[in-house]
Amino acid sequence: MSNLPSPPPVPMCDLATQYKAIQSDVEAAVLRVLSSGQVIMGPEVTGLETEVAEYCHAKFGIGCASGTDAILLALHALDIGPGDEVIIPPFTFFATVGSVVRTGATPVFADIDPRTYNIDPEQVAEKITPRTKAIMPVHLYGQCADMQPLWELSEKHNIPLIEDAAQAIGAEYHGKRVGTLGGICALSFYPSKNLGTYGDAGLITTDNPEWAAKMKAIRTHGSEQKYFHKYIGYNARIDAIQAAILRVKLPHLDKWTGQRQEAAARYDELIQDRGLDGFISRPQVMAGMRHVFNQYVIRVPGESRDALIAHFKASQVACDIYYPLPLHMQECLKYLNLGEGDFPESEAAAKCVLALPMYPDLTMEIQERVTDTLASFAKKHVRKGKAA
């Protein structure tokens, strides 16, 4: 028996390594806020709003408490409520649909393109009714939805587009950046995101000054002037400390994105070199896209996925499923009277997708371990490219 120590576990996301590289700047920013006494709103928040808006090529940025609040504020900016419908994909994180339901509106699902996991514009076209008040594409995993046909539908039917770009800051569609691909864009700064803070935070971008002013008020109890309330709002402000941290991290974002893209390319090569393309499907990057790889998601045979996950776990290599149950099949949405078979592409994806570790500091050594683990499973459990 070997006396060599076991290699350390491989995480899905390594925040500690990133923190060490910017530790002094982050700690100085936090202390700057604390010493100023301006811990609610203030110059750190306005500075972040300006800088992120500029990065996204948008006119206005509105900081808020989370990516979920960003979606909710966007919906309220458009006066969406009971009797209205919002078209969304069924294959995404729950916040997309939860925010729609919280306004009193009805979520209407349009299935996904299996190549990208993003909403299928042809399906969207079929779901538009006189009650449709918004279309909300999700730029899943870091790649933009196919926006050109959605722009055409938006113009034809006079329906605004809300980008759910929680996983996609910095992504681009034919040279146009997330943040200006719709009328309003919702961003998340959850710690694991490409631009993540050390807690919850979000931000909305828009070019519309009226919507911007309304969202700024709604995030602060609906108040444009202290103690005078124009709207029924929320306490949805972004913390000044989180804003200061994000201002430290934003200048590094493009470098970190490049590192993610390099890691994705290495995964592609390693998977090919190990002869795994017959067993799994790698992410497809569509023409004209800048994919920022918030996740690197492979597709595995559904009958093999649970066993593969167990194999990864036994090898102390992290993996995760984004997402195991489509929204239309969630228990809390039974009232929509939808179920298995209604959105076959989303249901198929939920049974097959598996995310591998992905973060800027991912090394070739770690990626070799990840793909070796995948290959060892395939060798034992797969014959001729099919699950045994």
Q: What token pair was written down for 295?
A: 């996740």
- At 80, list the tokens: 């969406």
Written as six digits, the tokens of 376 are 């060892």
Distances (CA, A) of 276 to 75, 321, 375: 43, 19, 7
Q: d(Cα 180, Cα 22) in Å, to the nearest integer?
A: 29
Predicted TM-score (pTM) of this structure: 0.94
> In 3-state terms, what secondary structure has residue 7?
coil
Give per-10-residue mean pLDDT for the chain (388 aa): 74 95 97 94 96 98 98 98 98 98 98 98 98 98 98 98 98 98 98 96 98 97 94 96 98 98 98 93 97 98 93 96 98 96 98 98 97 93 51
Nearest to 61 by CA among 243, 251, 290, 226: 243
**Considering only CA atoms, which of 298, 293, 321 is closest in space to residue 378?**
298
Please state the domain extents for the chain: 15-251, 253-387
The maximal CA–CA distance of the chain, rounded, in angstroms, is 73
Strand partners for 64: 202
pLDDT at 384: 45
CA 290 to chain centre: 15
DSSP 333: G
Say yes or no: do domains 15-251 and 253-387 share a fold.
no
Q: What does the pLDDT read at residue 94?
A: 97
Assess if CATH 3.90.1150.200 describes domain 15-251.
Answer: no
CATH 2.60.40.10 fits 253-387, yes or no: no
Q: What is the spatial distance between Cα 41 and Cα 384, in angstroms, rounded to a whole number?
A: 59
